[in-house]
Amino acid sequence: MEETKLRILELYSGIGGMHYAAELANVGAEVVFSVDINTSANEVYRHNFKQTNQQSRNIESLSANEINKLKPNVIMMSPPCQPFTRVGLKLDVEDSRCSSFLHLLDVLPHLETVSLVLMENVVGFETSEMRNAFTKALKSCGFYFREFLLSPVSLQIPNSRNRYYLIAKKFTNFAFGTETDIMTAFPSNSCDITIPVGQKTLEPYLEKNFADEELARYLLPAKTLMKYWRILDVRQRSDISSCCFTKAYTHYAEGTGSVLQHDSNESFQEKFADFEKDGNVAHLEPLQLRYFAPREIANLMGFPAHFSFPENTSLRTRYRLLGNSLNVLVVSSLLKILLK
């Protein structure tokens, strides 16, 4: 059996998107330590990665000495995005949720074995003071870096999830791009790296044979249809795109993710035309408009078929945790480019 080449320290681990990305990249890596402060996320992580040393801790409690004992080669992380998100207060480095990230920057110069970094965050991070502090710290430690704004759409996955990514390696520059540009596509000279390409329509990502009871669980309530029908993003099984699913999916109607016309045999245009005439929501019932199930969202985000939630995880918590996670396929592709 081939000896493990890379030792990964996974910070802000969530439900394990980075871990799954490392597995998918198939680069002989092992997650030697995983840390997150979110109790619900940690329960899901431990449910799926029973052998990983996963701890519920504030990253500020991690010292350079403790990290050095683990001898990690790679740090993979997805720090809190709230200080930079478009719907947040945008307090940037003044937000208390940045304190753990700032602690990591203080620790970075003292890490003896770390030579690779992969980080994910929301669009908006690229113009933040936190980003400036991060790249300054990387440079002072001898790292070269490249930045990206990428969506799964670039891998022909029918879901929009535009995110900021940074990859960095110590003492060796990249053969593409510069540190002054933010790339919006995978580098062309990574063509010799096998980057997974998804199915182009939504159909292959959807659950098969919903039982009536299961379908009823996800149907949009009549009051939601009545109040928000003008702003719902309704998708068909044959569509080649869908909106980004956020942690507020099903809780808020606008800008949190698409809904699906479950019965594709009915005419969307005709049913909505009838509804507009008299406002009777019963016209829309044959369409069976429903929310995407958590498993379907996980499929679109690249989580493998064996990923699952503990049975006691509520539906709302599942949506919230997925909304806070990342696209496994995009991160896996970037990790392979980082290791090239």
Which residues are known catalytic residues?
Answer: 81
Q: Please check whether residue 57 is in contact with residue 35, taking contact to mean a CB–CB distance below 8 angstroms.
A: yes
Query: Phi-psi region for residue 182, left (φ > 0), alpha (ψ -120 to 50) or beta?
Result: beta
Order of strands, edge to edge, in the sheet holding 29-36?
Answer: 54-56, 29-36, 6-11, 74-77, 116-122, 163-170, 143-150, 182-183
Rounded CA-CA distance 303/226 in Å is 34
Strand, helix or coil for residue 298: helix
CA distances from 278 to 216, 271, 283 (A): 25, 11, 9
Q: Where are the beta strands (DSSP E) in 89-215?
A: 116-122, 143-150, 163-170, 182-183
Q: Tokens for 223?
A: 């009051």
Residues 6+ apart with CB under 8 A from 154: 185, 186, 330
Q: Please check whether residue 245 is in contact with residue 299, taking contact to mean a CB–CB distance below 8 angstroms.
A: no
Query: What is the total residue count of the chain?
Result: 340
Place of tokens 């929301």: 122
Residues 6+ apart with CB under 8 A from 114: 9, 67, 72, 73, 74, 75, 108, 170
